[in-house]
Amino acid sequence: MKRKKEIYEKDFGYELLHRFTALCVKLFYRKVECEGQENIPGDGAVIFAPNHCNAMMDPMAILNTYRGRVVFVARADIFGGVMTKIFEFLKMMPINRRRDGIRNMVKAEETIEKSIEVLNNDVPFCILAEGTHRTMHSLLPIGKGIARIAAGFCEKHPGRKVYIVPVGLEYGDYFRPGSTLSVRYGSPVDVSALLGDSEGGTQLAKMNEIRSLTGEGIKKEIIYLPDDDRYEPSWELVKVASGKVPGCKPALRGEVGRKSALKLVAFREENPEGADALLDEGRDFARARKKAGISLHSLSSRLSALSVVLRSLLAIVLLPVVAVCAVAAAIPLLLAEFLCHFKFKDRAFHNSARFLIMELIWPLCFIIGAVVLLICNLPLGIACALVLWPAPYVVYRYVERVRRLVSSWKLLSHKELCNAYDNLYEKLQ
C-alpha cells in the first residue's frame, strides 16, 4: 500500500502550483516588491507571522516572495469532504480556535503537534497570528497559538533553534485588483534564546513576551495606526502625506507611510488638541473628496486638462482590444463578479475570490478555447494563445485606469479640493 505523503514533504504537483501561483500574483498586482528576505534565518526552524488584513491574499503574498515550501494553517470550519484533500495538497492544516468550542481544543493540540513536526523537518510554518482578518492598518492581539508552537518546538527539540519572523503586508488597495503589494520580512525573534534565559521570569511570562515581541515586530513592518474612533481620519492623513510617492513604488510609499503614521501618533500624544483639529480637517476633507467621487491618486498625481483628454483618447483606442479580452475571459470574469456581489458579504474576500477564479477557472477556459482554435485554425490558435493569456488581468487593469480617468475629469472642476489637499499635505510634512 502506498504511503501517504506528509504535508511537509516535497511534492512535484505542489511545486508546479507554487510557481504558477507566484506568476498569477505578479499578474494580479500591478507591482509587487519584497524587502528583508535576508532576515530569514538559515540556522533553525522558521515561523512566519504576517499581519492578516486581506483574507486569502495574505498567504498568496508569502507564496509569491518565499520560494521554498511553506505549510499554512486555516480555520478548521472551511475543511471537510473534498476540500480537505484540496487543502492538504495546498499544504494547509486546519486549526481550531477557542471560539470553536471546548470539544475542538483537542484537535487544536493535534495541530500544534503537527506544526512542530513540520518545523523539525526544516519546512517553514506560516500562521496568521491575529487569528482573523481586518482590512485595516492596525493589529489585533497576537494569539497564543504561535507562542505555543514555538515553545513546544523548543521543549521537544532542545538542541535546535526556532525563530519567529514578523512579516508586514501592505496593499495599495484591499478591494481592487491591479493594485500594488509590498512584503517586508522583519528582524527574527530568537525564541530559543528567549526561553533559554533562566532569569527571564516564569514560563507564562516568557510566552506572553513571545507574543508581544511578535506583535511589535509586525507593527514595525506595516503602516500602523491605533484602532480607535479616529482611525479613519488618521488613515486619510497618512495617505495624503505619502500620496505624492508614485504608486509604482509600493516599498517607498510604505516607508513614507510608516514615518507619517509614527509622526501622527506622536503628535496625538504630545498635542491632543492640535491633533484633534488636524484630524477633524482630515475627516472633513475625506467626506468632501468621497462625495465628489475623487480619488487621492487623482489629487496627488494631478493631470492637466490636456493629459486627461489624451489619456481618454488612448483609452478609447484600446477599448476594442479590451473588449476582445473581456469576451475571451467572460466566464471567469462574470463568475468572479457574481461571487463578489452576491455571495461574499465581507469585501475582504472579493480580491481572494477574483484571484482564485483567475488562477483555477481561467486556465481551464483558456486551454479549452485554445485547443478549439488550434483544431479550427492552427495559426489563429497559436496567436490567440500568445495574446489572450493575460486577458482577464488586462480587463482589470483597464477598468482601474478608466476609474482613475473619471476621477481626474471630475477633479478638473474642483479647484477648492486641490487647495484643501495641498494645505493638508504641507501641514503633514
More confident residue, 351 or 200: 351
pLDDT reading at 39 higher than 70: yes
Neighbour count for residue 218 (Cβ, 10 Å): 25
Q: Could you read off the pLDDT of 119-129 as tens digits, one per residue?
A: 989 999 899 88
pTM of structure = 0.90
pLDDT reading at 400 higher than 80: yes
Q: Could you read off the pLDDT of 294-347 as tens digits, one per residue?
A: 999 999 888 999 999 999 999 999 999 999 999 989 999 999 999 998 888 888
Mean pLDDT of the chain: 87
CB-based contact 77:100 (threshold 8 Å)? yes
Q: Could you read off the pLDDT of 154-175 as tens digits, one per residue?
A: 989 888 999 999 999 999 999 9
Q: What is the pLDDT of residue 269?
A: 92
Mean of the pLDDT values across residues 113-117? 87
Please tell me what DSSP assigns to residue 99. Answer: G
Confidence of residue 84 (pLDDT cuts 50, 70, 90): low
The fraction of the chain above a pLDDT of 70, given in percent, is 91
pLDDT reading at 107 higher than 70: no
CB-based contact 161:120 (threshold 8 Å)? no
pLDDT reading at 112 higher than 80: yes
Nearest residue to 119 (alpha-carbon basis) of 7, 267, 36:
7
Mean of the pLDDT values across residues 41-60? 91
Task: List CB contacts of 418: < 8 A, sequence separation 6 or more.
Answer: 299, 302, 411
Q: What is the pLDDT of residue 429?
A: 78
More confident residue, 9 or 190: 190
Q: What is the pLDDT of residue 336?
A: 93
CB-based contact 366:389 (threshold 8 Å)? yes
Q: Which of 37-46, 109-118, 134-143, 302-311 is predicted least confidently? A: 109-118
Q: What is the pLDDT of residue 12?
A: 84
Q: In angstroms, rounded to a whole number, what is the distance separating the alpha carbons of residues 63 and 121?
A: 19
Q: In angstroms, rounded to a whole number, what is the distance separating the alpha carbons of residues 367 and 362?
A: 9
Beta bridge partners of residue 73, listed in sequence order: 93
Q: What is the pLDDT of residue 93?
A: 79
Neighbour count for residue 68 (Cβ, 10 Å): 11
pLDDT reading at 100 higher than 70: no
Question: Which residue matches cell numbers 463568475?
Answer: 335
Q: What share of the chain is helix, strand, coil (3-state, %, to 5)?
A: 65, 10, 25
Confidence of residue 78 (pLDDT cuts 50, 70, 90): low
Q: Strand, coil or helix: what is 270?
A: helix
Q: What is the pLDDT of residue 5?
A: 73
Residue 305 CB burial class (10 angstroms; 0-12, 13-18, ≥19): exposed
pLDDT reading at 195 higher than 90: no
What is the identity of the amino acid at 9?
Answer: E
Torsion angle, CA of 71/77/81/87, rounded to 10 degrees?
-20
The fraction of the chain above a pLDDT of 90, given in percent, is 48
Mean of the pLDDT values across residues 262-280? 92
pLDDT reading at 139 higher than 70: yes
Task: List CB contacts of 137: < 8 A, sequence separation 6 or more.
Answer: 53, 222, 223, 224, 225, 235, 238, 261
Question: Which residue matches cell numbers 483544431?
Answer: 375
Confidence of residue 350 (pLDDT cuts 50, 70, 90): very high
What is the identity of the amino acid at 306?
Answer: L
Q: What is the pLDDT of residue 158?
A: 87
Mean of the pLDDT values across residues 145-151? 90
Q: What is the pLDDT of residue 285?
A: 93
